[in-house]
Amino acid sequence: MELPLPEAIPPPIPPAALSPISAATARPAATPPPIPAAARSPIPRATPSPDVAPGRKRRRAAQLVPGARIGVWRIERELGRGGMATVYAVVHTRFGKRAALKLAHSAILGPQFTAATFLREARVANLVNHPGVIDVFGTGSHTGRPYLAMERLEGRSLGAVLESGALPRDTAIEILLELCDVLEVAHAAGVTHGDLKVDNVFVLDQPGAGGRRTKLLDWGIARIAGEDDPLRGMIAGTLTYVAPEQIRCDDVTPAADVYALGVLAYRLLLGEPPFAAATDLDLLRKHLCGVPPSPRTRWPAIPAELEAVLVAMLAKQPEARPRLCEIAGVLRATRRQIRPRPVRTWIAPVAAIPPDVIGRPVLAKLPGRAQRITGAALGVALVIASLLRVLSA
């Protein structure tokens, strides 16, 4: 199993790169505004930590070997490694509980991303308290690096599943409904995920609580209502799924999750995301100004109500996007339309068969009381057999 790991959060885009795309031009336009030469350089990424000399590559974070201990946890093996952390399979040294431990890389820690920011995921898990959110068992620090001990999952990310081929549309709808459910609970708790994407949706090998097949991971950049946003002024998220208000560095609200869910719905139901571009800046411009392609061009038989809601989820203005309960209602209606109905075969009950036909050739040769007993036994057997056939149909 490999847990999907977040990439390093990029620093804010320079104001010169965003000046030609203002909030006033966020609505779809026939001709996108030009980007000046000063803004055509790639979006700046995280710079090397101060202890890395110019021209030298950053050293790979030290790998902990099996048997090493982090607090009360003993490492079994490495599960995955990303730009922000390494995830290990661990076991509790006293209780034998199996878990996954996410240990932050020291290079990511700094003024914009502190240990408290990394451990924010534990707070969010407790706030949301939903079976679709990974359970966090504890937090701590190892050699100055924060870590999270969390539920160990068996399965693959949705991104890895899609690499094997497209999902049946009814399966895709089930996944979208589960995401609507967990996001609705999160939003009611004042939490916005902020980085919904296929790699942060984990598909379980075996159904979990309530028959759920997915978990929504990586709440590390979630926003909590009523609290200062530690990532304010930064584009924190994945560019394929980022909402226009995140690009403008406006307040990030639950509507940003609805936008990302719309991008993910395009990917699952139509085969590809609504926007693609050769450069990051072109992709951002499409999110801000581009008109998403009609879903009907990729799914000619798409129900009209679903087509309308998919387009509305990608509205440039947050207040124009539908609510999660409305989205879920349309998805359920679509599921009923596209799911094939089972064919039932009706079997007539025994009472519909003329009584004088049942068993006559056999019973005619039996005398008196034996004929009555045998006839009754055969009648009961036929009734039971017919009932079993009706129930099994």
pLDDT in tens, 175-202: 999 999 999 999 999 999 999 999 999 9
User: Which whole number is the average pLDDT over 61-74?
Assistant: 87
**Number of Cβ atoms within 10 Å of the Cβ of 341:** 6
328, 177 Cβ separation under 8 angstroms: yes
Distance CA 105, CA 130 (A): 28
Q: Where does the pLDDT of residue 385 fall: very low under 50, low under 70, confident under 90, or very high at 90 and above? A: low
Q: Which amino acid is at 174?
A: E
Q: Which residue bears the tokens 């339309």?
A: 337
Name the residues annotated as catalytic: 195
The per-residue pLDDT for 41 is 36
Percent of the chain residues past pLDDT 90, beyond the cut: 53
**Long-range contacts made by residues 15-24, C-beta under 8 angstroms, separation at least 24?**
17/41, 17/43, 17/281, 18/247, 18/248, 21/247, 21/248, 21/284, 21/285, 21/288, 21/289, 23/248, 23/250
Q: Between 61 and 134, whose confidence is greater? A: 134
pLDDT at 103 over 50: yes
Q: Between 81 and 385, whose confidence is greater? A: 81
Q: Where does the pLDDT of residue 260 fall: very low under 50, low under 70, confident under 90, or very high at 90 and above? A: very high
**CA distance readout (Å), 98 to 102, 173, 370:** 13, 32, 69
pLDDT at 259 over 70: yes
pLDDT at 344 over 60: no
206, 374 Cβ separation under 8 angstroms: no
Q: Which amino acid is at 278?
A: A
Distance CA 129, CA 185 (A): 8
3-state secondary structure 40-72: CCCCCCCCCCCCCCCCCCCCCCCCCCCCCEECC
The per-residue pLDDT for 115 is 80
The per-residue pLDDT for 352 is 52
The per-residue pLDDT for 53 is 34
pLDDT at 62 over 90: no
Q: Where does the pLDDT of residue 112 fall: very low under 50, low under 70, confident under 90, or very high at 90 and above? A: low
The per-residue pLDDT for 81 is 85
Q: Where are the domains of the chain?
A: 62-338, 350-392
| Model pLDDT for residues 155-173, shown as the tens digit of each residue | 999 999 999 999 999 999 9
- Highest mean pLDDT of the ranges 17-21, 28-32, 68-72, 207-211: 68-72
The per-residue pLDDT for 356 is 56
What spatial distance separates the first Cα and last Cα of the chain, rounded to whole Å? 40
The per-residue pLDDT for 298 is 95
Q: Between 268 and 110, whose confidence is greater? A: 268
The per-residue pLDDT for 379 is 62
User: By 3-state DSSP, what share of the chain in percent is helix, strand and coil, each rounded to 5?
Assistant: 40, 15, 50
Distance CA 149, CA 127 (A): 17
| Model pLDDT for residues 321-340, shown as the tens digit of each residue | 999 999 999 999 999 998 76
At the top level of CATH, the class of 62-338 is mainly alpha
